[in-house]
Amino acid sequence: MISPSEIERNELGYRLEEVRGKHLRLVKRANPISDWSVFMVHGGGGRAGQFKHLIKVLEPNMTIVAVDFLGHGDSPAPNRPELYTADEHLSDLTVIYNSHRRLHNVFISHCYGAIHTLRLLDTLKQEQRLTEVAGVILLDVGIRALSLGMLSSLPAFLLEYLRPLARSFSNAAIFPPTTDPALIEFENTITSNNRMYMMKVLAQDCGNQELWGRGLACGKAAMEGIPGALLCGEEDGLFSVQSCREMAQYLGVASERFHVVKGAGHLPMLDHPEEVIRIVSEFLSSLQGAQQNTS
């Protein structure tokens, strides 16, 4: 029987690109006749394949770039914890963006990936390049850092032993009771490849309120003048709707651009893809319409 990872490779391809001396799996759908690029940035423990429904819908109209950060998805996972920090991910994302950007660029970023994106926007602001960014869509990210005590405090070898227990907690937080069991099994099979020496570093950074706060402060200043949207799952067990709403307000996202996806959990682009596609497509259409009116 074909594995979930093989299914996604067949759907999205398998290509490694050298980034800062690392080899990262990159999903790229180049559109030579479009001057728009969409960068899809996954969260901690996620992967590019979690955006697969959006990729299929958007690729006929614009270039799509989605990465598996080191240790995630189909990228290698060396046992070097220092390579999984927030600063490392930001540096990798910066290189990928600079290598694949087009005239108009949009970010669709999930959870922890949103923090990397906001920090990248700050870098572009300092370089006076924010005009390159046409819009930002954030998914399931709240105003406060996560509390992931067990993952961040225990040694990695013990976390591997306790993986089944950690899995039960994460499933309860990520997937609402109405989620298709086949989707849960599919996701669990792929993410079981996430090494705990990586997850421990991610948990420490995701639970670092100072780091989280710096990312938000960077994003708040950089987002001024950039159209933004924020989507969250109604039943997300990691970030409440209220926390996501406060995040949207803090970043200056217009109230009509804050969307609660009913019945969805922490991965609305997987458990309610049609609604997420509708919201994202409408937002991108508004950006392209605004650009045409100013050109």
Q: Measuring CA to CA, which residue among 152, 153, 137 is closest to residue 38? A: 137
Lowest-pLDDT choice from 77-91, 107-121, 188-202: 188-202
Q: What are the C-alpha distances in Å from 167 to residues 17, 149, 188?
A: 31, 14, 8
Helices (H), the chain: 4-12, 52-58, 86-100, 112-126, 149-153, 156-161, 163-174, 181-191, 196-206, 209-222, 241-251, 268-271, 273-294
Q: Measuring CA to CA, which residue among 258, 148, 254 is closest to residue 202? A: 148
**DSSP state string for 80-131:** -GGGGSHHHHHHHHHHHHHHH--SEEEEEEETHHHHHHHHHHHHHHHTT-GG
CA dihedral angle for residue 147, residue 121, residue 86, residue 159, rounded to 10 degrees: 40
Q: Residue 152: what pLDDT?
A: 64
Q: What is the DSSP letter of 63?
A: E
Cβ(234)–Cβ(171) under 8 Å?
A: no
Q: Residue 150: what pLDDT?
A: 64
Q: Measuring CA to CA, which residue among 258, 280, 261 is closest to residue 64? A: 280
Lowest-pLDDT choice from 165-169, 237-241, 243-247: 165-169
Q: How far apart are CA 109 and CA 119, in angstroms?
A: 12
Say if residue 7's pLDDT is above 70.
yes
Side chain identity at residue 105, one-letter code: N
Q: How far apart are CA 121 and CA 24, in angstroms?
A: 22
% the chain with pLDDT above 90: 77
Find all residues with CB under 8 Å of 249, minimum gap 6, and list them: none
Cβ(101)–Cβ(37) under 8 Å?
A: yes
Interval 178-220: pLDDT, tens:
999 999 999 999 999 999 889 889 888 888 888 888 889 988 9
Which residue bears the tokens 């490392």?
88
Residue 280 corresponds to which tokens in the numbers above? 């994202």
Cβ(138)–Cβ(114) under 8 Å?
A: yes
Cβ(73)–Cβ(58) under 8 Å?
A: no
Find all residues with CB under 8 Å of 140, minimum gap 6, and list them: 43, 110, 111, 231, 232, 233, 236, 238, 239, 244, 266, 267, 268
Q: Residue 163: what pLDDT?
A: 79
Residue 64 corresponds to which tokens in the numbers above? 């799509």
Side chain identity at residue 242, one-letter code: Q
**Mean local confidence (pLDDT), 24-31:** 94
Q: Residue 161: what pLDDT?
A: 78
Neighbours of 234 (CB within 10 A): 15
Interval 122-158: pLDDT, tens:
999 999 999 999 999 999 999 987 776 666 677 777 7
